[in-house]
A and B are shown apart, each in its own frame.
Chain A
Amino acid sequence: MSQETPLLELRGIRASYDRIEALFGVDLVVNQGSVVALLGPNGAGKTTLLKVACGLMAPSAGDVLYAGKRVNGTRPEELARRGISMVPEGRGIFPNLSVRENLKMMTYTGVSLSQVEEIAFERFPRLAERSRQLAGTMSGGEQQMLAMARGLATNPAVLILDELSMGLAPIIVEELYEIVAQVARSGVSILVVEQFASSVLGVADRAAIMVHGHIVRDGTPQELESELSNAYLGNQPERSGGNK
């Protein structure tokens, strides 16, 4: 596969809630088969950017390109069927549905239930044991596994992960990121948003730091690691311009 082919491309994205502007012209490219980490403190606009990428939110300006085609305004269910799979922040599961029913929902993308279950249970054997349990009653880590299983079960081309680690113990986070790395090796492009930086930097090919609705740094994980403490803890307030 060609490393440099852009699969998902965001160009000059601006977005706002009501009148509250959240994104001020963001450019981001996810190449075929690569893992891109988007980092930044609370409220930087990361989740908003992901919502735009998967069609849950329409940008007020800018373009979303998927496999070279402009997909602005395409509905999320349509993008899901075309291969953009999103695991949203805070457990992308239906808590009042059983594990199996959660997986059943994935069959709307055109994959059969047996196939979905095969993929899900192979990666996350623990889910097979709990297939009849209500998803909301499982532990946080298991819920996140289910969310990821849901995201992967359709063999997506792009997997978008929002705050995989939120509210989870570090050991489980590491476990989840090992799976992310496996998935990436199988050729899926991944866009992942995190606050916990180091866990994701281990698997990312490229990373970007977002602050106040702008991408302020962009580079390889190694290049960015030293910048992070500034962006998060503000030893030296850092809000300067991009350097593309």
Chain B
Amino acid sequence: MSLLEIAEVSVRFGGNLALDGVTLSAEAGEITGLIGPNGAGKTTLFNVITGLQSPTSGRVILSERDLGRLSPTKRARLGMARTFQRLELFSLLSVRENIRVAADIYRSYSGSKDDPALVVESMIDKVGLREVADARVDSLPTGQCRLVELGRSLATRPKVLLLDEPASGQDDNETVAFATLLRELAADGMAVVLVEHDVALVMEVCARVHVLDFGRVIASGAPSAIQTDAAVLAAYLGSGAK
């Protein structure tokens, strides 16, 4: 049994089927990639997993527990964390305070004895934001904002980390550093799910990649297999692609 299992999840918005029987899983200690064209349903799937969107049918299972209709808050407390494609930062607070809020919340429900101030400092170092730790997040470029969101999620010590386009807005050097960071997180035992349009990055770091198209998983497998998969090529390049 994988750490995170998504079984037959469907979401219907009016007449449109945004997700159509999606089944996939993410293993602890691995980075799982999720790619697909715009509108394929990746962010919707994240919303379903974190409880921000209830599915029309299907189940989300974390550590062999069916999450049913649990609220986002309860899911977070079970070890689920995410970042957002459209940044959801606490714009009135500094980088340090953003992460501190998360560390404090974690402490309040987990009973952890760790000093949240120290947790925050280690997270700042981990994501590499030491130089801008006191800056208001409003003043940072997107790439760094995404790192703040990452640091904030990490401060809740998640088992499953869902990253929605974390590398967009990062320049090439930042992306290289980011890939290294992702590998470290997986090595710590986290199940990392990566939605990213920088496919090069996905192919580089992921153990497995799922391809979503029209709300369905059209391919799953190792990156090398995905890159030559006929269905994937068709989805990305159209049915007539060679």
Give yes or no for direct A-B contact (beta carbon below 8 Å): yes
- Does A42 count as interface, using CB distance less than 8 angstroms? yes
Which residue of chain B has its CB nearest to the CB of A200?
Answer: B238
Nearest Cβ distance between residue B133 and chain A, in whole angstroms?
19
Q: Are B240 and A42 in contact (CB under 8 A)?
A: no
In the complex, chain B residues 164-222 whose Cβ is within 8 Å of any chain A Cβ:
165, 168-169, 172, 197-203, 214
Q: Are B38 and A232 in contact (CB under 8 A)?
A: no
- Does A43 count as interface, using CB distance less than 8 angstroms? yes
State A233–B26 Cα separation when bound (angstroms). 22
- Does B68 count as interface, using CB distance less than 8 angstroms? no
In the complex, chain A residues 5-20 whose Cβ is within 8 Å of any chain B Cβ:
19-20
Given the known inter-chain contacts A139-B15, A167-B39, A202-B240, please indicate yes or no for A234 contacting B142, CB distance below 8 A.
Answer: no
Nearest Cβ distance between residue A50 and chain B, in whole angstroms?
13
State A213–B227 Cα separation when bound (angstroms). 24
Nearest Cβ distance between residue B80 and chain A, in whole angstroms?
24
Instruction: List residues of chain A with CB within 8 A of the CB of B202.
Output: 234
Instruction: List residues of chain A with CB within 8 A of the CB of B233.
Output: 229, 233
- Does A107 count as interface, using CB distance less than 8 angstroms? no
Contact with A140, one of B15, B168, B198 (Cβ below 8 angstroms): B15
Given the known inter-chain contacts A19-B142, A166-B39, please indicate yes or no for A195 contacting B236, CB distance below 8 A.
Answer: yes
Instruction: List residues of chain A with CB within 8 A of the CB of B200.
Output: 234, 237
Given the known inter-chain contacts A166-B39, A233-B227, please indicate yes or no for A197 contacting B198, CB distance below 8 A.
Answer: no
Instruction: List residues of chain B with CB within 8 A of the CB of A89.
Output: 38
Contact with A20, one of B16, B169, B201 (Cβ below 8 angstroms): B169
Q: Are B232 and A43 in contact (CB under 8 A)?
A: no
Given the known inter-chain contacts A136-B15, A167-B16, A196-B37, please indicate yes or no for A233 contacting B240, CB distance below 8 A.
Answer: no
State A43–B169 Cα separation when bound (angstroms). 10
Interface string of B225-242 (1 = CB under 8 A from A): 011000011001111111
Instruction: List residues of chain B with CB within 8 A of the CB of A239.
Output: 172
Nearest Cβ distance between residue B91 and chain A, in whole angstroms?
10
Which of B39, B197, B200, B238 counts the most chain A CB atoms within 10 A? B238
Given the known inter-chain contacts A19-B142, A43-B165, A195-B38, please indicate yes or no for A170 contacting B239, CB distance below 8 A.
Answer: yes
State A225–B14 Cα separation when bound (angstroms). 36
Instruction: List residues of chain A with CB within 8 A of the CB of B38.
Output: 42, 89, 163, 166, 195
Interface size on B, residues (CB 8 A): 31
- Does B111 count as interface, using CB distance less than 8 angstroms? no
Task: Give the tally of cross-chain contacts (CB within 8 A).
Answer: 84
Q: Are A197 and B15 in contact (CB under 8 A)?
A: no
Contact with A43, one of B197, B201, B240 (Cβ below 8 angstroms): B197
Q: Are B15 and A198 in contact (CB under 8 A)?
A: no
- Does A199 count as interface, using CB distance less than 8 angstroms? yes
Given the known inter-chain contacts A166-B39, A234-B200, A239-B172, please indicate yes or no for A198 contacting B239, CB distance below 8 A.
Answer: yes
Q: Are B237 and A43 in contact (CB under 8 A)?
A: no
State A166–B169 Cα separation when bound (angstroms). 24
State A174–B232 Cα separation when bound (angstroms). 18
Contact with A163, one of B14, B39, B232, B242 (Cβ below 8 angstroms): B39
State A20–B143 Cα separation when bound (angstroms). 9
Instruction: List residues of chain B with CB within 8 A of the CB of A201.
Output: 238
Q: Are B238 and A199 in contact (CB under 8 A)?
A: yes
- Does A2 count as interface, using CB distance less than 8 angstroms? no
Instruction: List residues of chain A with CB within 8 A of the CB of B240.
Output: 198-199, 202
Instruction: List residues of chain A with CB within 8 A of the CB of B198.
Output: 234
Interface string of A168-201 (1 = CB under 8 A from B): 0110001000000000000000000001111111
Nearest Cβ distance between residue B39 and chain A, in whole angstroms?
5
Nearest Cβ distance between residue B224 and chain A, in whole angstroms?
10
Instruction: List residues of chain B with CB within 8 A of the CB of A198.
Output: 237-241
Instruction: List residues of chain B with CB within 8 A of the CB of A137.
Output: 14-15
- Does A90 count as interface, using CB distance less than 8 angstroms? yes
In the complex, chain B residues 133-165 whose Cβ is within 8 Å of any chain A Cβ:
141-142, 165
15 A–B pairs (Cβ distance < 8 Å), ordered by A: A19-B142, A42-B38, A90-B39, A95-B14, A163-B38, A166-B37, A166-B38, A196-B236, A197-B241, A202-B240, A229-B237, A229-B241, A233-B203, A233-B227, A237-B200
List the 7 shortest-distance A-B pairs measured between CB atoms, nearest first. A198-B238, A234-B200, A42-B197, A198-B240, A237-B200, A234-B199, A196-B238
